[in-house]
Structure 1
Amino acid sequence: MSLKTTLTIVESQTQAHTTLNRARLFYTGAALILLLLMLIGFQQFFLHGKAYPGREIAPQIRTLIILHGLTMSAWIFLFLIQPLLIVSRNHRIHRMLGKIGAALAACIFVLGLRAGIEATRIAPPDMVIWGLTPKQFMAVPIISIVVFVGFVAVGVWNRRRPEVHRPMLLLATLAAMPAAISRIESVSALYRGTVWETFLGPPFGMLVVGALFLFIKWLLTRSADRWYATGYAVLALISVLIMRIARTDVWDQFASFLLR
């Protein structure tokens, strides 16, 4: 093997190693951003034990909301810890926490469904949320939590394929973020009353963050992440459809079934 060939191989391996480290840095940074957004969006919950925008949590669902909030918070913290464990080569702990994460996702699914249904059950019928009645708005948390579990399932199934596993879990976490981001007044005020509010509703801010992640990942690695891009396109399409589905007779009948 010639010296030139050897140098080319070494250079290629160095570039691949650098790209891999930047990808790991990206997921750690993304997790930190989502954690910060969650803490800001739910600051009333974390600091005062209250619902947005500072009202008391209804006694009928208080325990349920607290459990859902705690499990979702645990998920975000776990999502931050996992890439750090890979960087530090603690693969065994990473795999062990992965099993805990799968069980946590199942709990989030059950609690999220119940929270969406029970919150709708006690909401005043004439209440309007993002231009929707309570029964219509229930489509947002219900469909979002189903999408969350769907991305988690794909990520867990591909746990031995990091190029699929990591973006799917990031997309799962993003799918659960509209509730936090839409509660950040400085963010929601930017599009409240515009066509974006009618078109996308609460997921708008989450989709902007997701698009920024896609751009930042490209800047760091100089390569297109087709798995993340494809998953993001699916997430965006579902987000657009949620506001349409919520106003259909089919959803009204399904929501009535859930509320019985």
Structure 2
Amino acid sequence: MAEATMGARAGISPRKFYMMIAWTCLAVAVLGFMPTYFLPLAQSKFDAPPIVHIHGLVMFSWVAFFVVQASLVSRGNLLAHRAWGVVGVSIITAMVFIVTAVVSMRVRQVSQPGVPAAITEGTKAFSWVTMGTLFLVVPAFVAAIANIKRPEIHKRLILLITVAMLAAPIARWFLTFLAPPPDPNAPPLPAGVVPAPPVQVAIAPALVGDIILLIAMTYDWRTRGRPHPVYLIGGAILLIQQVTVVQVGHSAAWEAVATWIGKMAG
């Protein structure tokens, strides 16, 4: 009854709203990776180690999982929603290992002889963008699991996690259309080395992704009279993480951590 009343105020039920938001996140993920992954892959122009493809599959699986779960709730199939919830645990667990492995590989590649120091330092700094998101996602997911029986908290934490991940696909469009042309005078790099972009380019895509969170907060305002604390607290933490990536990424402390992560690759 309360949910129906809330939906009546906004003209759409909460269940349908979160299903629409989930599909929006999926669309952003697909369109975001289209120019740099899906199209090159279809044209046999994407050359990367298998671990990169596994990484993409795991990350994309989360957004697809979010859509499936939101759709099940929208149709009132709560038993199936709970039964499939264990898949989310598997995806997040796989994400921790595969993301760390990819970051370790990239840092190790740029730490070999012949790579300019600026590229090595830049890649270590940019690794915070990826690992910083992971450090937010994992605690938020644990909190979501702890609040399974409190759906108002649970679903908002899941959305917060998904929005945090959308900066990566959105950034692909920034890098595709706004990246400066390659320097023809730059010395050749060792095989397999992929320089990371400057850390600051991660800020704008992350803020664009936050628009989805703002939409959800606006919906809360119309249905609840105020945004839910999950959005206020979690959103604030996410925003702080996003706007401080340059300072943290280039700090001596993170450089030491990134160096240690790079050694994990062997």
Q: TM-score, normalised by structure 1?
A: 0.79
Give 2:187's aligned residue. Answer: none
SS of 1:224's partner is coil
Q: Which sections of structure 1, spanning at least 5 residues, go unmatched?
A: 1-9, 190-195
Post-superposition shift, 1:220?
A: 5.7
Give 2:22's aligned residue. Answer: 31
Give 1:213's aligned residue. Answer: 216
Moved more, 70-79 or 215-224: 215-224
| Post-superposition CA distance 1:19-63 (Å, at most 9, x none) | 69622222111111111111111113223328xxx97443xxx21
Q: Which amino acid aligns with 1:185?
A: F
Q: Does 1:135 align with 2:124?
A: yes
Aligned length: 237
Contact 2:23 2:67 in 1 (8 A): yes
Give 1:243's aligned residue. Answer: 246
- The alignment yields a C-alpha RMSD, in angstroms, of 3.1
Q: Which amino acid aligns with 2:252?
A: D
Give 2:67's aligned residue. Answer: 80
Give 1:230's aligned residue. Answer: 233
Structure of greater relative contact order (alpha carbons < 8 Å, 6+ residues apart): 2
Give me the whole-angstrom Cα distance separating, in 2, the residues matched to 1:56 and 1:126: 27
Post-superposition shift, 1:147?
A: 1.2
Contact 1:42 1:180 in 2 (8 A): yes
Post-superposition shift, 1:134?
A: 0.7
Give me the whole-angstrom Cα distance separating, in 2, the residues matched to 1:156 and 1:221: 23
Give 2:5's aligned residue. Answer: 15
Q: Which sections of structure 2, spanning at least 5 residues, go unmatched?
A: 179-198
Q: How does 1:53-68 map to 2 (within 5 A)?
A: 56-58=46-48, 62-68=49-55
Give me the whole-angstrom Cα distance separating, in 2, the residues matched to 1:13 and 1:76: 25
| Post-superposition CA distance 1:120-177 (Å, at most 9, x none) | 3224546669xx7111111111111221112111111111101110010111111111
Give 1:166's aligned residue. Answer: 155
Give me the whole-angstrom Cα distance separating, in 1, the residues matched to 2:126 and 2:175: 22
Q: Does 1:185 align with 2:174?
A: yes
**1:78 to 1:234, Cα distance in 2 relative to 1, 3 A:** same
Q: Which amino acid aligns with 1:71?
A: V
Q: TM-score, normalised by structure 2?
A: 0.77
**1:251 to 1:218, Cα distance in 2 relative to 1, 3 A:** same
Within the candidate set 48, 54, 70, 2:40 is matched to 48
Q: Percent identity?
A: 21
Give 2:261's aligned residue. Answer: 258
Contact 1:151 1:172 in 2 (8 A): yes
Give me the whole-angstrom Cα distance separating, in 2, the residues matched to 1:141 and 1:235: 13
**1:55 to 1:221, Cα distance in 2 relative to 1, 3 A:** farther
Give 1:193's aligned residue. Answer: none
Give me the whole-angstrom Cα distance separating, in 2, the residues matched to 1:32 and 1:145: 22
| Post-superposition CA distance 1:87-114 (Å, at most 9, x none) | 2221221111101111111101111111
